Amino acid sequence: MRLHVAPLNSTVEATGKILDASGEIPRAPEALGRKTYTELIESGILKTTIDEKYPQALGINGIMERVNIWGNSAWDILVNEHAKDSPFFTSDFASGIELSDDPRIINRLVPLAPDLALRIRPDLDARDLNMDAAFKAFRCRLQTPSRSEVRAINQVIARCGEELIFFRDHHDWVEPFVNKHRFFRVKPVTTEIKTPTGYTLISTIRVKSTRDRH
């Protein structure tokens, strides 16, 4: 709900600016300085509010499409051979996001146990496949990440957590590690590109620092 409100906000505001430019939205009353919709939005006087239940409903409606994409994608089965002293974490976000070579694609890291995790590498071509739950394009490979790779995976998981990080064993390094990466969160990022006929909006998610809030 939190992650998908911002893109909808941007869509509403961009639509309003297009209508404003074509004269479809009248100027504000004298009390607001007779400003245009665009001026009110850009000055912060006017704010767009999206009911969080709406993106939630959109997400629920698109569950099967998302399952179809992930089920017909490439999966890495990550077996942690260093779980005795460097187990995988998990969090209340349940997964971590990892950038790929394709800027349109974000890998998902899903920890299942201290010694087992998945990396799902979404295949956009899966959108054209039938949603029959057969997952005919599914493929996987087994990987044994090095100790440094396990640490990098735990960093992603720790930075993507909302409020809670879970771990099995309280090693000496765990608390300093979590403290180092606690001031991060998954946030929506929307880029607005003006075009001759309106706006193009590119929305994605990224791990961003939250230190400006503390």
Q: What is the pLDDT of residues 137-177, one digit of tens each?
A: 999 999 999 999 999 999 999 999 999 999 989 999 999 99
Mean of pLDDT values over 14-30: 91
Percent of the chain exceeding pLDDT 90 equals 64
Residues 130 and 108: their CA atoms lie apart, in Å, by 22
- Reported as a pLDDT band with limits 50, 70 and 90, residue 127 is confident
Strands 74-79 and 139-143: parallel
Of 93, 124, 125, the closest CA to residue 109 belongs to 93
In the block, tokens 């479809």 appear at 24
Mind listing the pLDDT tens digit for each residue in 77-120? 999 999 999 999 999 998 999 998 888 889 999 999 999 999 99
